[in-house]
């Protein structure tokens, strides 16, 4: 008699044994619908064996398909992933396979309607680009590696506009010509219509697309096209990594530093690390690219773990923009100005408009102003559910919480002391947009942030209007900083970059460096030179200084020594435990008990964690409350990931044994957001 071990898309670490009816043709990787508890569920066959279980089992009948839906190499790959991220294989598979597979068949099954993507038409280039010497050298080295048919992790560090995208495209073409397939990851597909357009042009029907905007049916359709070989290149956000190409010669991770490669809910994985593991198993070239590599990747490149390619100059005639710093503290002292734009930026905008060129203004915060503040009791207006300031949005005439969406009318008086002396502090995209419209009434001004981009189609339309020169000034959040290649933009103004520097997160300097460099990189990509004006209250901070000089290596050295001193990645490895609960006292008591357990098991010589990783906390999270749930965290830190994983497994089993009702917890391996 055969038995099948079946895993389900649920957070349970073990599989379930079912009896296989003799005539059933079942293999590893097949999908089956079986009784599961009191209901029916769809699971994946993980193993077939002949060991009769002690307890009676239920039966598997006909499988749902006549072949395995999990490609064979997935087991080795995702098995590693599951161990690395301390996440049950069932949950990993649930993220890796189209969700449609796990849906019970309902009466109404509609065939997928596939509309071709609306992205393509506006973004075609007519001219064929000839690679320059540097690009050619890198391309031929990479092609050589693809031919060797082995794992080759590499980092392409090239300044903004150095022509990285052209290298990717030509390399992908080579891979397809050789009869193999390739994956191209982008941070956010809505922000990259240009890349999608170019890819469509080059690969036509051989291109598959995947991103969060697809319906389940569309996603399944694209998955099948990758599976049967009718698609050979897939472009998409992090989930594109799970496309079932049997022979994947190349995985490109464009803008590898981007934090959207990290999944922050449920199964918390980093697409870059999964890509490296997949490449190892499938003998692929894995190419990470960025003008501002993550500390981790550049560290690995320098130590020889990744091959490093460098492009120091912009491609074509374009040159790097000139960056000017304006000390806003001095400006405010001298002028007592209440305006958000300094005189120099104001004048630069006027000049740029006169030349009929375009302006981008980055402001690192949505809405109107940071917060309402009471001058009498000196309190900011906080969200009642989350411990963060409410942000004023004048369009909706309300104060809004950016974490939970809580909304209240704009108050005339302070909710705690009833004083009428309330004032707005700080600035946001809407404040700046309004100010600019007043000063430049003839200019065509648009705003791009998460609020304005909620309207369907707005994002794409705005990027197209910018490209076509129909917008003179675009005000926006980091959305405007990402990857766009708009030759008409010659001036970039940066406001409020310092906000990020004050956050209690060891990556805040790195993020500021990246944001400033990326947004500056939008200026002067065509033949007209670009300039950048940065208003800052921290003109001497090394991340701002280095970004201005375009000195990535200098920044890397300083940041690395800071990480060494404080003991943070890439010098150490981290695993974070997060806890939340609505009952503040119950959560705090539990955290105290866990704290004593940690202390006992680490300090005492014979304790299970002795000599293992260091534990920071339990401590309240920097944002103590979100959506009415109180938050605590424990950070495990060690020299190697193995050591930290061992400690984490022990801690996890202790948490599982003693978890009070109502407390939720999650493990985050290699955490990105520390707030």
Q: Are strands 473-476 and 445-448 parallel, antiparallel or unpaired?
A: parallel
Q: Are strands 422-425 and 371-374 parallel, antiparallel or unpaired?
A: antiparallel
**417, interface contact from ligand ADP, Zn ion, none, CB < 5-8 Å by kind:** Zn ion
What's the rounded Cα separation, in Å, for the pair 69 and 71?
A: 6
**Is residue 419 close enough to count as binding Zn ion by CB under 5 A?**
yes
**485, interface contact from ligand ADP, Zn ion, none, CB < 5-8 Å by kind:** ligand ADP
Q: Which residue number, 160 or 294, has a Cβ lying nearer to ligand ADP?
A: 160
For residues 251 and 275, the answer to whether their CB atoms sit within 8 Å is: yes
What's the rounded Cα separation, in Å, for the pair 620 and 630?
A: 8
Q: Percent helix, strand and coil across the chain, each rounded to 5?
A: 35, 25, 40
**Is residue 321 close enough to count as binding ligand ADP by CB under 6 A?**
no
* Binding to ligand ADP in span 449-488, by CB under 6 A: 485
**Is residue 518 close enough to count as binding ligand ADP by CB under 6 A?**
no
**Is residue 171 close enough to count as binding ligand ADP by CB under 6 A?**
no
Q: Are strands 233-236 and 181-185 parallel, antiparallel or unpaired?
A: parallel
Candidate segments 119-127, 289-297, 414-422, 502-510, binder of Zn ion by CB under 5 A: 414-422
Q: Which of 2, 80, 112, 132 binds ligand ADP (CB under 6 A)?
A: 132
Q: Which residue number, 74 or 632, has a Cβ lying nearer to Zn ion?
A: 632
DSSP states along 499-528: GGGGSS-TTHHHHHHHHHHHHHTTTT-SSS
In the bound complex, what is the minimum distance in angstroms from residue 520's beta carbon to ligand ADP?
A: 12
127 contacts: CB under 8 Å, gap ≥ 6: none
Let me know how many helices (H) and strands (E) the chain has, helices first: 17, 27
In the bound complex, what is the minimum distance in angstroms from residue 389's beta carbon to Zn ion?
A: 10
User: Residue 636: phi, psi to the nearest 5?
Assistant: -100, 135
Q: Which residue number, 384 or 567, has a Cβ lying nearer to Zn ion?
A: 384
Measured over the CA atoms of residue 225, residue 227, residue 228 and residue 233, the dihedral's sign is: positive
Length of the chain: 675
What's the rounded Cα separation, in Å, for the pair 357 and 366?
A: 25
**Is residue 165 close enough to count as binding ligand ADP by CB under 6 A?**
yes
**166, interface contact from ligand ADP, Zn ion, none, CB < 5-8 Å by kind:** ligand ADP
Longest dimension (CA), the chain: 87
**Is residue 386 close enough to count as binding Zn ion by CB under 5 A?**
yes
What's the rounded Cα separation, in Å, for the pair 529 and 317?
A: 9
For residues 143 and 173, the answer to whether their CB atoms sit within 8 Å is: no
**404, interface contact from ligand ADP, Zn ion, none, CB < 5-8 Å by kind:** Zn ion
* Binding to Zn ion in span 387-406, by CB under 5 A: 401, 403-404, 406
**Is residue 86 close enough to count as binding ligand ADP by CB under 6 A?**
no
**Is residue 335 close enough to count as binding Zn ion by CB under 5 A?**
no
* Cα 621 → chain centroid: 21
**558, interface contact from Zn ion, ligand ADP, none, CB < 5-8 Å by kind:** none
**Is residue 315 close enough to count as binding ligand ADP by CB under 6 A?**
yes
Q: Which of 262, 525, 573, 625 binds ligand ADP (CB under 6 A)?
A: 525
What's the rounded Cα separation, in Å, for the pair 55 and 610?
A: 39
**Is residue 567 close enough to count as binding ligand ADP by CB under 6 A?**
no
Q: Which residue number, 62 or 125, has a Cβ lying nearer to ligand ADP?
A: 125
Q: Phi/psi class of residue 71: alpha, beta or left (left: φ > 0; alpha: ψ in -120 to 50)? A: beta
Q: Which residue number, 165 or 297, has a Cβ lying nearer to ligand ADP?
A: 165
Q: Which of 131, 503, 560, 666 binds ligand ADP (CB under 6 A)?
A: 131
For residues 442 and 414, the answer to whether their CB atoms sit within 8 Å is: no
In the bound complex, what is the minimum distance in angstroms from residue 301's beta carbon to ligand ADP?
A: 17
**Is residue 316 close enough to count as binding ligand ADP by CB under 6 A?**
yes
By CB under 5 A, name the binding residues for Zn ion.
374, 376-377, 383, 385-386, 401, 403-404, 406, 414, 416-417, 419
* Residue ranges binding ligand ADP (CB under 6 A): 129-132, 135, 158, 160-166, 315-316, 485, 525
């Amino acid at each position: 008699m055969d038995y099948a071990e079946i895993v389900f898309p649920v957070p349970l670490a073990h599989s379930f044994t079912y009896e296989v009816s003799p005539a059933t043709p079942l293999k590893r990787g097949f999908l089956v619908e079986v009784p599961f508890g009191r209901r029916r569920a769809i699971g994946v066959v993980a193993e077939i064996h002949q060991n009769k279980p002690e307890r009676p089992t239920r039966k598997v009948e006909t499988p749902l398909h006549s072949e395995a839906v999990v490609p064979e190499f997935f087991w080795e790959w995702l098995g590693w992933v599951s161990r690395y991220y301390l996440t049950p294989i069932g949950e990993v598979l649930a993220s890796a396979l189209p969700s449609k597979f796990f849906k019970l068949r309902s009466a109404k099954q509609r065939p997928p309607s596939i509309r071709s993507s609306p992205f393509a038409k506006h973004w075609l280039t007519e001219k064929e680009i000839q690679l320059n010497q540097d690009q050619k050298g890198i391309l031929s080295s990479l092609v050589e590696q693809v031919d060797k048919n082995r794992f080759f992790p590499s980092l392409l560090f090239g300044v903004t506009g150095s022509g990285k995208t052209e290298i990717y495209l030509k390399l992908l073409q080579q891979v397809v010509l050789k009869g193999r397939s390739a994956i191209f990851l982008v941070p956010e597909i809505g922000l990259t219509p240009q890349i999608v357009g170019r890819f469509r042009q080059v690969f036509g029907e051989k291109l598959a697309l995947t991103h969060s905007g697809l319906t389940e049916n569309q996603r399944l359709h694209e998955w099948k096209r990758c599976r049967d070989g009718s698609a050979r290149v897939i472009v998409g956000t992090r989930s594109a990594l799970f496309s079932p190409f049997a022979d994947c010669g190349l995985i490109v991770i464009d803008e590898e530093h981007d934090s959207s490669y990290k999944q922050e809910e449920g199964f918390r994985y980093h697409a870059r690390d999964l890509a490296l593991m997949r490449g190892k198993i499938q003998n692929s070239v894995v190419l990470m690219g960025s003008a501002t590599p993550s500390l981790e990747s550049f560290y690995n490149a320098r130590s020889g773990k990744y091959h490093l390619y460098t492009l120091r100059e912009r491609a074509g005639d374009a040159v790097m923009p000139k960056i000017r710093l304006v000390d806003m503290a001095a400006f405010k002292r001298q002028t007592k100005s209440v305006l958000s734009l300094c005189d120099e930026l104001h004048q630069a905008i006027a000049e740029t408009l006169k030349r009929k060129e375009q302006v981008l203004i980055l402001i690192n915060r949505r809405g109107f102003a940071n917060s309402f503040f009471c001058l009498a009791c000196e309190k900011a207006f906080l969200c009642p559910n989350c411990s963060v300031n409410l942000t004023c949005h004048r369009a909706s005439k309300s104060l809004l919480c950016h974490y939970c969406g809580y909304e209240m009318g704009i108050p005339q008086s302070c909710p705690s002391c009833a004083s009428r002396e309330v004032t707005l502090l700080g600035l946001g995209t809407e404040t700046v947009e309004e100010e600019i419209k007043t000063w430049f009434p003839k200019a065509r001004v648009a705003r791009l942030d998460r609020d304005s981009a909620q309207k369907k189609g707005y994002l794409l339309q705005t990027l197209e209007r910018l490209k076509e020169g129909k917008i003179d000034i675009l005000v926006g959040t980091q959305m405007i900083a990402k990857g766009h290649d708009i030759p008409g933009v010659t001036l970039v103004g940066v406001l409020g970059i310092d906000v990020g520097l004050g956050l209690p997160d060891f990556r805040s300097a790195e993020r500021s460096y990246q944001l400033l460099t990326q947004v500056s990189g939008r200026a002067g990509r065509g033949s007209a030179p670009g300039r950048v004006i940065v208003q800052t209250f921290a003109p001497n901070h090394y991340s701002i200084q280095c970004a201005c000089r375009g000195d990535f290596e200098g920044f890397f050295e300083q940041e690395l020594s800071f990480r060494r001193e404080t003991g943070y990645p890439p010098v150490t490895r981290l695993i974070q435990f997060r806890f939340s609960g609505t009952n503040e006292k119950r959560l705090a008591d539990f955290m105290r008990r866990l704290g004593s357990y940690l202390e006992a098991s680490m300090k005492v010589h014979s304790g299970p964690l002795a000599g293992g990783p260091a534990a920071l906390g339990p401590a309240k999270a920097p944002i103590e409350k979100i959506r009415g749930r109180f938050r605590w965290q424990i950070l495990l830190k060690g020299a190697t990931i193995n050591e930290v994983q061992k400690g984490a497994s022990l801690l996890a089993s202790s948490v599982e044994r003693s978890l009070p009702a109502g407390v939720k917890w999650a493990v985050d391996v290699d955490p990105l957001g520390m707030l």
